[in-house]
Chain A
């Protein structure tokens, strides 16, 4: 060990490293990446992650289709994205190398499990010759290890079955990478011991593999490749590493506490939203009732029924599910009772790309119902921001008695970032009132009750069944102020216009949006949702190079912040990067007659800052 200590000064310090772990779906790459991330978080780095996995649970082993990857960006400064190109690729088999190598930066480092490079695997990956033996890896820094064999060797005296020993080779890889990037080993060892408590053999095997990888890297004299990323300077506080689905679930728990109403989730499992159902199902002690319905339609129906009864009615889904729910959401628009609909967007149309991200449900959220059926739409912008977005969506739903669609996406859902935990006492209360008696005096001076009598914000009262004297009927057929059926032509026009005005008036409760960056320049980049990280990074780089650019990032999509139109008109160039073909740009052009230019990306992957800089510059010069 003294030898190691003496050589510590040889470790090269770098500002950031982007590691991409890639292997077969069954190789445990998501776990490996997650553990590397956790150790880095504890070490104090800022970080952002991007898990990418196939839709199949176990795609054919050894094939390109079966490659599962996890990218983590760690830095000694504030970062917002999983980075441009990985600087390090860990390839557990030929398919991982073949599929992922093109993403690696020039002169990047490749760490390879040579045991997997047999003829059969090479053939499955489509290699004509072994890339370890020809010049395919020229120009990269290559580190090889017989990971499978050495893992088996490390486990041989433990009494573990050969197959089980082999399965821990991901921890061998983690051990190597942890040494190479100077990660502390304790968090991983602690985690193994906690995770597999009571399964002594599993603990022993994983720990042996992890330590063997660590020692191997040290002994293989990889000192020249060793790097360290120092802790980032972050605001003081307590941090946790959080993904969007967990943050969103916790935001809903918070909304329940802040409003004093119990949460009722009607949901049908769908990727990538199911984890919200899983998370909330754990929290029955908050009075949360999760109901796994028979289908998407029943899920939103049950949520609507619960809302009618005074719970926070919530349904969580992804694009295909939102399509199925649209008729019931239309009913909620007509009934004017609260409902929170969470759409964790994925690639479409149809089944599309279930495990890949896209933000192409914006226009469906706006318009995906028959008739004139406006409703508020809000979005989350980073994984941790899902917490606050969930509270805001619930606030609007409860205070304005309307269905609200909250848009997240697959990248936010599974990506993680360190989150400085808020003080629960600082979270703003949500005001809820139920009508308990007559709300009107008629011409004869008699008190009466009118279910659709509106307040200054055009919101109608929330009346709970069980309230004496207020029994009434509501329904999807057009109604008048009494709630009873009305086919009167003038009344229908009045109701359609009033429902639209009601949603528009929510803008009064939305703060004016303040652009970041150069408000006195000609260029503004406008985004919504998970493009927040890449746009912020790209705009930062452009400004450092001397270009004047402003950045507007929206939380409220319907209604827009009250000053948005005026603000956009103060710029010459309005650039809108989106993970769709230009849906926000379409709305902006329609609403404000502004010549918004679209930067589209529909590859199932988030923008990288580097490509955004290039494409924003192109759009500006167009």
Chain B
């Protein structure tokens, strides 16, 4: 690393004008990544951002790296192929809740279960922005939008629950109002070997303004954000007076004074069984109750690309490097003179 000239934020900024709506939460996320990337010591050319379609998916154009702005929902699939073909690259996937949970939901869960080395940033604003304001797969029931004038009757996904159900090896949540926390979650996801999913609560100030403000505005955070810290009891509140207990697999919020500190669940992000993490993920059932933020789960699992390359190496060790002529002669052959 000593030979590598360190980069700064501006080295990661492309020459393209950023075209998100003024005030969009995406700006903060872009800045967080551009500030974070110099830390890793990677070069721009070894970094690739792959996205699908949607507001968030314009992201690659703003990064001075390699990048593909692909088609709706398919970014995890395209990124999977690239990450498997080129394990030397640092591959990031960026997309919104419509892109990755609706049209591309299938690819997301399969990338997570395979544990391919990807850092996946899911910008969740609970609305379709680029198509101008229809409800999304994370919109709350009853949401009135252009396509649901009488209120949405769709039950929403909880992205963290979904990812844990797919047995993702790294799952975290952060929000666009706290750059430091965002950077910390992205850093951890990036360090993780395998698929790292970060759900980012992101404000769409045009079509779903203030969706998370009850949770993320500065003076609400102490009461509304349950900070998950590995090895510590799960508690929150200005004085840490609230806590979380898990009873029969169900998480609930209690007063520490009532139950005592020992009754609280101690967060263990490396617990192999995802059940407790899943129970914690259920606490964020709406946008007006205390919501866990932080790393829900980080476990070690074999990384797909490592296993695949291992099979190639093993086949070459067992059979020798491929020889076309011997393959052509591998079925029964006969000679005509």
Contact = CB atoms under 8 A, between A and B. Distances in A.
Do chains A and B stick together as partners? yes
8 contacts: A238-B329, A239-B334, A288-B312, A294-B106, A424-B324, A471-B45, A474-B69, A475-B60
Interface string B253-293: 00000000000000000000000000000000000000000
Contact of B322 (A237, A283, A466): A283
Interface in B303-337: 308, 311-312, 314-316, 318-322, 324-325, 327-329, 331-337
A335 B68 contact: yes
Contact of B328 (A240, A241, A310, A472): A240
Contacts of B332: 38, 41-42, 240-241
Given A42-B334, A305-B84, A485-B61, 4 more contacts: A302-B84, A309-B81, A335-B68, A475-B70
A484 B61 contact: yes
Interface stretch (A125-133, A208-216, A250-258, A611-619): A250-258
Contacts of A19: none
Contact of A291 (B16, B81, B88): B81
A240 B329 contact: yes
A264 B74 contact: no
B205 interface: no
A257 B326 CA distance: 13
Contact of A421 (B77, B84, B86, B333): B333
Given A253-B322, A475-B69, A283 B85 contact: no
B20 to A, nearest CB: 14
Nearest to A285: B315
A253 B321 CA distance: 12
Interface string B13-34: 0101000000000000000000
Nearest to B77: A301
A483 to B, nearest CB: 9
A511 interface: no
A239 B328 CA distance: 10
Question: Which has the most chain A C-beta neighbours within 10 Å: B79, B80, B83?
Answer: B80
B71 A465 contact: no
Nearest to B317: A285
Contact of B81 (A241, A305, A335, A474): A305
A308 interface: yes
Contact of B77 (A235, A283, A297): A297
Given A250-B327, A298-B77, A465-B66, A306 B84 contact: yes
The 8 A-B residue pairs with the shortest CB-CB distance, nearest first, are: A305-B81, A475-B69, A286-B322, A301-B77, A302-B81, A284-B315, A305-B82, A298-B77
Interface in A80-99: none
Contacts of A291: 80-81, 84, 308
A465 B85 contact: no
Interface string A470-496: 111111110000001100000000000
A239 B337 contact: no
A297 B84 contact: no
Contacts of B65: 471
Contacts of B14: 473
B44 interface: yes
Given A297-B74, A298-B107, A477 B328 contact: no
Contacts of B328: 240, 250, 421-422, 424
A111 interface: no
A283 B80 CA distance: 21
Given A283-B322, A470-B45, A310 B85 contact: yes
B85 A294 contact: no
A469 interface: yes
A466 B45 contact: yes
A467 interface: yes
B91 to A, nearest CB: 9
A298 B69 contact: no
Contacts of A472: 66-67
B84 to A, nearest CB: 6
Contacts of B48: 465
- Counting chain B residues whose Cβ lies within 8 A of the other chain, the interface size class is 35 or more
B162 interface: no
Contacts of B79: 305
A205 B318 CA distance: 34
A303 interface: yes
A283 B316 CA distance: 9
A44 B45 contact: no
Contacts of B316: 284-285, 287
A236 B337 contact: yes
A264 B336 contact: no
A568 to B, nearest CB: 37
Interface of B: 14, 16, 43-46, 48, 50, 53, 60-61, 63-71, 74, 77-86, 88-89, 106-107, 110, 308, 311-312, 314-316, 318-322, 324-325, 327-329, 331-337
A36 to B, nearest CB: 14
B205 to A, nearest CB: 23
B262 to A, nearest CB: 44
A331 interface: yes
A327 interface: yes
A242 interface: yes
A484 B16 contact: yes
A117 B117 CA distance: 61
A331 B86 contact: no
A304 interface: yes
Nearest to B337: A236
A311 B87 CA distance: 12
B334 A466 contact: no
A293 interface: yes
A509 B311 CA distance: 38
Nearest to A234: B336
For B314, B327, B337, which residue has the most chain A Cβ atoms within 10 angstroms?
Answer: B327
A299 B320 CA distance: 28
A308 B68 contact: yes
Interface in A210-236: 234-236
A57 interface: no
A302 B83 CA distance: 9
B266 to A, nearest CB: 36
A476 B57 CA distance: 12
Contact of A264 (B53, B84, B334, B337): B84
Contacts of A424: 324-325, 328
A253 B334 CA distance: 22
A170 to B, nearest CB: 20
A313 interface: yes
A473 B81 contact: no
Given A285-B321, A465-B66, A331 B71 contact: yes
Contacts of B89: 309, 465-466
A193 interface: no
A475 B72 CA distance: 12
A284 B84 contact: no
Contacts of B84: 264, 289, 291, 302, 305-306
A468 interface: yes
A305 B319 CA distance: 28
A328 interface: yes
Contacts of A38: 332
B81 A304 contact: yes
A473 B333 contact: no
Interface in A293-335: 293-295, 297-299, 301-311, 313, 327-328, 330-331, 335
Given A240-B328, A471-B45, A473-B67, A465 B333 contact: no
A534 interface: no
B311 A284 contact: yes
Contacts of A311: 85
Nearest to A419: B328
Contacts of B331: 240-242, 246
A363 to B, nearest CB: 23
Give the residue among A42, A239, A311, A466 with the most B Cβ atoms within 10 A: A466
Interface in A24-42: 38, 41-42
Contacts of A302: 77-78, 80-81, 84
Contacts of B45: 465-471
